[in-house]
Amino acid sequence: MTVDAVLIAGPTASGKSRAALTLAKGVGGIVINADSMQVYREAPVLTARPSEEDMAAAPHLLYGHVSVREPYSTGRYQDDAVAALAEAQDAGKIPIFTGGTGLYFSVLTKGISEIPKIPADIRNRARARLEEIGVAALHAELAARDLETASNLRPSDPQRVLRAYEVFEATGRPLAHWQQQAGRPVLDGLRLARFVMDVPRPELRARIETRFKAMLTSGALEEAAKLKGLDPALPAAKILGLREIWALQDDALSEAKAVELAVTATRQYAKRQMTWFRNRMADWDRLDSQSAADIIAKVAT
């Protein structure tokens, strides 16, 4: 092999996990997760985690190792990725990082700053403030103190608004300040093969709808029921389709409407992913559905 590690990014439902598995079986590699939702233990179906059969076909790391009730962060992912890389290297296997979270790939290839740890009392006060006034009002308070960060956040996103609010409370500096302080990349100094799955939008839209409908008959309903009452400020509350399934189970939506809304939300998320890849990973090689099958040859050359 002429590379030390392989990275395969792509929007949801683009086939990146399949490409990574094909490569891992072909070169004796280890697949390492780079998707912020597939870390969660209790939602393998909802997060489209690789199946048990796939994970038995080649080693997989950082899948399902975190509880949905933990506030998993990019900083924790950085630590986990360092450990996973060391495990692959110790085993003499090629690490193959794959997922759809652009920020995780930035951790791997560009590095991020280490945001100071938030004291428990500040975190608790910030959470209490969110519960007291709601996310829109908390966003307004954040904007009055940290307009740069607030302008890049949706006022309806409790997890990200709360994170930015507590960082400012704890450090007196905007979250954007810390994000601009690059640290050492996890894969610093390694020879990398970098790919982005490039699937035509009509095909991707069809895949998203087909996959979500299959989830409903494969355990997604049961998973969602067990996650009822999940704190909306936790990262896992952003699992795609979760809110729509809850509404279906509460008889607030018909199944057809729940599917429609979940598919639309997933397509919008995929669009945001593709924008990130286009703007921030423009120099990565592109893989379409057919060329992904030839990934072994692409990595070897």
Q: Examine the pLDDT at 1 and tell me if it is beyond 70.
A: no
Domain ranges of the chain: 5-112+183-300, 120-179
The reported pLDDT for the residue numbered 294 is: 79
Look up the pTM and report it. 0.85
- Read off φ and ψ for residue 5, nearest 5 degrees: -160, 155
Q: How confident is the model at residue 301 (pLDDT cuts 50, 70, 90)?
A: low
Q: For the segment 152-173, what is each residue's pLDDT rounded down to a tens digit?
A: 898 988 988 999 999 999 999 9
The reported pLDDT for the residue numbered 75 is: 86
Tell me the average pLDDT across 202-207: 96
CATH number of 5-112+183-300: 3.40.50.300
CATH number of 120-179: 1.10.20.140
List the end-to-end C-alpha distance of the chain, in Å, as a whole number: 8
Q: How confident is the model at residue 11 (pLDDT cuts 50, 70, 90)?
A: very high
Find out whether 35 and 297 touch, Cβ atoms under 8 Å.
no
Q: How far apart are CA 271 and CA 276, in angstroms?
A: 9
299: nearest Cα among 101, 97, 157, 51: 97
Query: What value does the CA radius of gyration of the chain take, rounded to a whole number of Å?
Result: 20
Query: Helices in 172-291 by DSSP H: which ranges?
Result: 175-179, 201-216, 220-226, 242-249, 255-280
Q: For the segment 107-149, what is each residue's pLDDT rounded down to a tens digit?
A: 999 988 777 888 989 999 999 999 999 999 999 999 999 998 9
